[in-house]
Amino acid sequence: MFAVHGNAPFHAVQQKNTPVSKVVKTPTSAKTLVILPYSEGFDTEASLNSFKIIDANIDDNTWKWEEEDGGRVDYFTEIFENNPGDDWLITPGFNLEAGKKYTFAFTAKNNDSTEKLEAFIGKSAEVKGMTISVLPKKEITNAQPQIYGNTIEVTEAGIYYFGIHCVSDPDKMTLSIDNISIKEAAVAVAPDGVTGFKITPDEKGELKANLEFTTPSKAINEQAINQLDSVQILRDNVPLTTIKSPAVGTLLKYTDTTPKNGANIYTVVAYNEAGAGKAVNLTAFVGEDEPAPPVNTAAQLVGDDVQLTWTISDKGFNGERVNPDNVTITIYSTIDGINRNLVADNVKGSTYTIVGGNSQPKQQQLSYQIIPTSKGGTGKLAYTNPVIIGKPYTMPFQESVANQKIENDYWAMDKSKGQVGVLASSESFDGDNGSFLLKSNDPNQQLSLQTGKITPKGSQKAFLTFYHKAAQSADETLTIKIIKDEKTLSTLKVIDYKDSKNEWKREELDMSNLVNEAYLQIAFEVNFGETHNSILLDKISMTAAPVADGIEQVSTTNNIENDALYTTMGVKVNAKGKLPKGIYIKNGKKIIIGEF
């Protein structure tokens, strides 16, 4: 963000906060009157000591001095609350003569929101004394400083004061004022303003600007003039050069090699024997803007490396030029957007490869922050997509949550905003005292439990096998997907639990069409219904061949009646009594029976 304030790195800022007294600041300088021509660039906080500040609506939202830091203006998050602006910034007194014309000028800019102001002069430094309009109410829509003001004539000589009045609507941001000047206006026979004034900043963002204009050939009163004494060029009210005895009506050029990075206000004034002529002002942005946040940011796993890419716009945060070739990039890796580690800095271009960034033994999900810096400052960061770095698991892959502890380091979860999550349960299919419990305390929530990266490469086939259980007649669904880099490769199955019987079920899903993928993830996605029942998952495996355990059902009761049961050796057992926990044959299929 750029703030340019004349020839000084400081300015007066109209900031909004909370109530105090009506007269916030009275002049403390011993110098009660100033001599014209007068100018104030607010170089230091002490420069405000000769001003009077009036908080007319007594809400403590008023004018305060603010230091510019490196060509930027600080944001102000304070707001007007429910009050419109009604705050005065009043200069020290100065003498005006009757019948003479005087030019009053200042620069103003906003910060993200349209502001409003007006300006007056008067014979006392009080609200009621501000009686002569210099500038009617004006909307300030520019984010870079522009010159505002007017030329007026007073009919009565005396001591006057110049007041700038903020009248912004409620809930606005910041109004900045700088470079207040008061001087006698050019007389009628002085030179008119230059014409064709044009400024061409360096296209590559170097601190250089080419000026050109045509000298006047007539006076302010439209009468022809034959000669000029000089033409003066100023930048931010500071003289840059004086061109002696130029011809009238001639094209002049000048190159400024010392502008500041940001908005520069150039003024050209022609002189003849009558004195200074009409000033012509033009604001030009020179150098480079603060970069806009990078776009098209991406992270991609390429073998053992991580490749990052991004695009830098040639239009900056404030809409001004940025030379992408001059922008340097700082890169951080982060697991949560808060804790981060420096990867690289002073990176040029639009790509960076983290060599070996995907070779660590343990898997971890990371995003990367891409932060641009130019001559105009450091821009806002942008994030890449998250990637899971680290070596993928190989087949056979198995997770049984034995004793309520995961066997594989990496599991991820995405969820909706309700009270929903993944826990470890002591209930299990395989009797190892552990399974995943996918649970929601709120209705109509979503949850996705995802494995880490698993590679099927080197196998001709791949199968996913797992066991699951839901309450009887539950209104949940479980969708099993294969994903890679946050994209769905395949939806293997959707399980509807409306006919569930509160018993373990086995699923075996063929994934052989995906064996050429370098890696993939398995996602178990639950849509919880109104009753938001829990779902259990156990003995998850991904193998090159079907798991041949033959178990088709698990019953949590060991009191089975009216069923012919056999041991795995083919011996019929009494199903009417309590059976020991174990594997039995029922209707030609293996089941597990027992208390868990």
Q: Which of 360, 389, 418 is the last residue of a domain?
A: 389
**462-494: burial string, b at 16+ Cβ within 10 Å, e else:** bbbbbbbbbbeebbbbbbbbbbbbeeebeebee
Total-model pTM: 0.71
Q: Which of 549, 566, 582 is the last residue of a domain?
A: 549
CATH number at residue 505: 2.60.120.200
Whether residue 347 is contained in a domain is answered as yes
Whether residue 40 is contained in a domain is answered as yes
Whether 217 and 332 share a structural domain: no
User: Which amino acid appears at position 544 of this protein?
Assistant: A
DSSP, res 432: S
Whether 314 and 334 share a structural domain: yes
Whether residue 559 is contained in a domain is answered as no
Whether 208 and 345 share a structural domain: no
Q: Which residues pair with 244 in a beta bridge?
A: 230
Task: Provide the pLDDT for residue 237.
Answer: 87
Task: Provide the pLDDT for residue 12.
Answer: 38
Whether 271 and 328 share a structural domain: no
Cα(570)–Cα(277) distance, rounded to whole angstroms? Answer: 116
Cα(10)–Cα(413) distance, rounded to whole angstroms? Answer: 50
Alpha-carbon torsion, ordered 178, 179, 183, 188, to 10 deg:
-100
**Domain range for 164:** 10-184
Whether 176 and 202 share a structural domain: no
Best CA proximity match to 390, nearest among 338, 335, 427, 430: 335
Whether 226 and 309 share a structural domain: no
Whether 304 and 279 share a structural domain: no
Sign of CA dihedral 357, 358, 363, 369: positive
Whether 436 and 491 share a structural domain: yes
Cα(331)–Cα(379) distance, rounded to whole angstroms? Answer: 13
Whether residue 591 is contained in a domain is answered as no
Task: Provide the pLDDT for residue 208.
Answer: 97
Whether residue 202 is contained in a domain is answered as yes
CATH number at residue 218: 2.60.40.10
Whether 383 and 403 share a structural domain: no
Whether 138 and 215 share a structural domain: no
Whether 214 and 101 share a structural domain: no
Cα(333)–Cα(367) distance, rounded to whole angstroms? Answer: 6
Whether residue 558 is contained in a domain is answered as no
Whether 27 and 163 share a structural domain: yes
Whether residue 435 is contained in a domain is answered as yes
Whether residue 397 is contained in a domain is answered as yes
Q: Which of 372, 389, 406 is the last residue of a domain?
A: 389
- Cα three-residue angle 168-174-180, rounded to 5 degrees: 85
Report the number of distinct structural domains present in the chain.
4
Please give the chain's pLDDT, 596 residues, in tens: 222 223 333 333 333 343 433 565 566 554 579 999 999 988 888 888 899 999 888 877 788 888 763 332 222 435 546 778 889 999 999 999 999 999 999 999 988 789 999 999 999 999 999 999 999 999 999 988 899 999 999 999 999 999 999 998 887 778 899 989 999 999 999 999 999 999 999 998 999 999 999 999 999 999 999 999 999 999 988 999 999 999 999 999 999 999 999 999 999 999 999 999 999 999 999 999 999 999 999 999 999 999 999 999 999 988 899 999 999 999 999 999 999 999 999 999 999 999 999 999 999 999 999 999 999 999 999 999 999 999 999 999 999 999 999 999 999 999 998 898 999 999 999 989 999 999 999 999 999 999 999 999 889 999 999 999 998 888 999 999 999 988 999 999 999 999 889 999 999 999 999 999 999 999 999 999 998 889 999 999 999 887 655 444 444 445 455 456 766 555 677 655 566 666 666 765 666 665 43
Give the phi and the psi of residue 47 in degrees, each rounded to 5.
-65, -20
Give the phi and the psi of residue 145 in degrees, each rounded to 5.
-65, 135
